[in-house]
Structure 1
Amino acid sequence: MSQSRIDELMQLVEQHWQLRLNYWESQASITLLDELHHILCRAACAWCGIPLHNVDAPEMAEQLVLMIEGGAAIGPKHWASRRARRQTENALLDLIKQYQQGLHEVDPALPFATFVDFRDAQGKPLPNRIVAVELINVIRPIVAVARYMVFAVLAMHEHPDCYEKLKHQGSSRYRRHFIQEVRRYYPFFPFLAARVNTDFTWQGYRFKRGRQAILDLYGTNHDAHRWEAPDQFYPERFEQEEVDFHRFAMIPQGGSDHATQHRCPGEWITLALIDLAIEKFIHQLRYDVPWQDLTVDLNVIPARPRSGFIISNIHSINSSQPSAEKERF
């Protein structure tokens, strides 16, 4: 994931955020999680080259959310998730066929055209349905990051001392630690599942080939053997930690290395999107947080504040306070 492509995505999110801001200011209140789903869906589609003028963006956003929220469910919610996936695949299949027929142009450097135009060593293209599935595999995780963005705003609300430090400290070092603590402290997907490829023994326990194993992400991020006072929100803990420690102790999006192991390659996008949300809510927006149920239910996968985080009396501002100097994560 190149930095230039991440920057392009952030610019698109900024654009769609600004387009939505007038609507926010006209409303008595909005539910932040729902709004971010729609903003990120539009930005992700544009970033991939999916022709927005041929897409029902609100419907696609709702279908992506059903996939995100129903993938780990049982019963009707899971069936709704599967139905939403089929509908999204079919909508993308229509766009792919239109592109193949020359009915619309797409930047050949973007994923949509790259996937459709791909040819293997024998000159064969990918099946159109595979292309549709892979496009969903790009845009759905971006939309899912809305939860982390909301958790960052929730953390600033629940910890006003952190908000003040973020607002007034000139260095982005504290902001980086704050973002990492949001990802460590708040729940997202609780675990990763996999099957053992090769027999091995670890700490006296034998893992046989074919056995299903589950990596406890949330438990590892709150392991008292690894973290001091793990149930306390404390960004300063990251001042002393070594990067190598984070490879296996700080694993909200998988562990070890991005290039060789099961660590999410979109982690840098997640960090940048959380940073963007912090910037917006500290320096560019004024708002109230009315009474609501902000409980985060660990039985909900992926977790979210129960209310979706409602904000009211929203106003855009031009702050004279310079934001923290940007630092690459």
Structure 2
Amino acid sequence: MPALVQETLFGHGSVHSLDGQAHRHRKATFVDVAYEDTQVERLTPWLEREWETERAAWLGGGIRNAYQAATGALGRAVMGWAGLPGTPAAKTRWSARLAQIVYGFGAPYSPAYGVAVLNRLWSDRHAAHLIEAVRAGALEPEPDTALFVWAHHRDQSGELLSARTAGVELQNSIRPMIAVARFVAFAAKELHDRPEWRTRIATETATNGRLVGGELATLFAQEIRRTSPFVPMLPGRATADIDIDGQHVAAGGRVVLDILGTNTGENSWAHPERFAPERFLGVEDFETLTSFIPHGGADVATGHRCPGEKLAVAGLTAAIAVLSDPRLRILDTGLQVNLRRLPTKPRSGGDMRSVNPSRRCPFH
């Protein structure tokens, strides 16, 4: 990854800066930490609880946006899942810092980028302290949590990672879930424009009695991930001379993976310009769709697909279930998307409020 991206988004020394066997060795730990279905099952009660908290806050009155709510709900949920200590308020504050890093990395040389660098420094220091506390026995997280695993991870030579590097990878285990808040903002926009889907998802959620895993919510989540452009491409460098589709790329040459173009290409998708969640009906394993790469492509273990993709889908489906609640209203304003901004989202983040005026705060 380019240095400007490592400085903020991924962190120096992270798995994203490795190649070959070193990359695969550390990537395997991410697979253990996040990819297995048991990890999704562990995350589910955290998602249910935190999204219920956000829904109650909306119903209590006032106007808040879906992006802010998701930053808090997804952040607290994934931090609890990862074994991190702290009060809900402290986790919400750290979530906001990590969300700002995602916002700032795409605007080099801007004030937002400078703030992202400061938030990265704070987060690296805080995460390193957590790793050191586990190694010293002051913290005792559960063995299958990200905090425990990264505190005890060893490199190929059998050495523990430095506390700082282990802390960087701990953040790389939780920050992608917080970045899903941008998908949630897009979901608010699309649900606003498609009230029939809101009604169908609300009925499904009421029938199931839970927020995570509804079929219709999952179809909607997958189409959001296909069409939302908040991370439209990923850069890398060729490690050897290669020829791709008639083009020669010399070793060290820049290669860019066109995520949005692949997800919406006419050669792979029927009517790709349409927002059509039903296109995913009957797809048992979305990872087999080679042109569906919102979290990277190829095999999770050997390629560059994100191991946390299943967790992200679970978090997004829970959000969509809450946003579809008929007691909530998605406001009409601020739903425009600036496609010149990386990363992007609807301008307002998806402002929402209770439909019951008696429950609203008179000052908002």
Deviation for aligned residue 1:98: 3.2
Q: 1:152 is paired with a residue of what secondary structure?
A: helix
Q: Which moved more, 1:256-265 or 1:190-199?
A: 256-265
CA contact (8 A) 2:59 2:327 kept: no
Return the TM-score normalized by structure 2. Answer: 0.77
Residue 100 to residue 168, structure 1, CA distance change in 2 (3 Å): closer
Which string of whole-angstrom CA distances, capped at 9 and with x for unpartnered residues, describes residues 25-73 of structure 1?
3331111211210111111111111112498323311210111111121
Pair 1:132-2:132 in alignment: no
Q: CA deviation at 1:242?
A: 9.9
Q: What 5-or-longer segments of structure 1 have no aligned partner?
A: 316-329
Scaled by the length of structure 1, the TM-score of the pair is 0.85
> RMSD value over aligned CA atoms?
2.8
The structure 2 residue matched to 1:94, chosen from 98, 120, 129, is 129
Instruction: Pick one of 301, 304, 312 that aligns with 2:345.
Output: 304
Q: Which residue of 1 aligns with 2:115?
A: 80
**Stretch of structure 1 that moved more, 273-282 or 3-12:** 273-282
Identity over aligned pairs, percent: 29
Query: What is the aligned partner in structure 1 of residue 354 from structure 2?
Result: 313
CA–CA distance in structure 2, aligned partners of residues 110 and 206 of structure 1 = 43
Q: 1:183 to 1:230 in 2, by over 3 A?
A: same
CA shift at 1:307, angstroms? 0.3
Moved more, 73-82 or 223-232: 223-232
Contact 2:296-2:306 within 8 A present in 1 as well: yes
Cross-structure match for 2:58: 24
Equivalent position of 1:51 in the other structure: 85
Aligned CA distance change for structure 1 residues 115 and 55 (closer, same or farther; 3 Å): farther
Matched, 1:147 2:182: yes
Residues in 2 aligned to 1:119 and 1:180: alpha-carbon distance in whole angstroms: 35
Aligned partner of 1:324 in structure 2 is none
Q: Secondary structure at the match of 1:145?
A: helix
Counterpart position of 2:138: 103
SS of the residue 1:256 aligns to: coil
State the Cα deviation string for residues 242-286 of structure 1 (Å, max 9, x = none). 97996332222222222221222211112212221233333x561
Query: Which segment drifts farther, 157-166 or 75-84?
Result: 157-166
Residue of structure 1 equivalent to 2:44: 10
**Compared with structure 1, are the counterparts of its residues 123 and 173 closer, same or farther at alpha carbon in structure 2 (3 Å cutoff)?**
closer
Q: Relative to 1, partners in 2 of residues 1:122 and 1:236: Cα closer, same or farther, differing over 3 Å?
A: closer
Asked if the contact 1:24/1:314 (under 8 Å) is kept, the reply is no
Is it true that 1:264 corresponds to 2:264 in the alignment? no
Partner Cα separation in structure 2 for residue 63 and residue 258 of structure 1: 28
Provide structure 2 residue ranges, at least 5 long, that are not aligned to the other structure: 1-34, 209-213, 357-364
CA distance in 1, matches of 2:288, 2:158: 43
Residues 144-181 of structure 1 show CA distances to partners (whole Å, capped at 9, x for unaligned) of: 11122232232221112333443457896554433222
Say if 1:285 and 1:4 are closer, same or farther in 2 by CA, change over 3 A: farther
Which residue pairs with 1:278 in the alignment? Answer: 320
1:204 aligns with 2:246: yes
Once the two structures are superposed, the pairs formed by residues 155-170 of structure 1 within 5 Å of their partners are 155-167=190-202
2:128 and 2:73 map into 1 onto residues whose CA distance is 23
- Matches of 2:38 and 2:75 in 1, distance apart? 20
SS of the residue aligned with 1:194? strand
**C-alpha spacing 1:55/1:123, structure 2 compared with 1 (3 Å):** farther
For 1:276 and 1:245, the matched residues in 2 are separated by: 20
Whether contact under 8 Å (2:66, 2:184) holds in the other structure is no
Instruction: For residue 209 of structure 1, give the secondary structure of its aligned residue in structure 2.
Output: coil
Secondary structure of the structure 1 residue equivalent to 2:123? helix
* Alignment match of 1:295 (pick from 316, 319, 336): 336
* Structure with higher RCO (Cα < 8 A, 6+ apart): 2
Amino acid at match of 2:118: R
Taking structure 1 as reference, are residues 102 and 55 closer, same or farther at Cα in structure 2, changes over 3 Å only? farther
Count of residues in Structure 1 that have an aligned counterpart in Structure 2:
314
1-structure distance, mates of 2:128, 2:115: 20
Equivalent position amino acid for 1:149 in 2 = V
- Deviation of the 1:235 alpha carbon: 2.1
Q: How far off is 1:89 after superposition?
A: 0.9
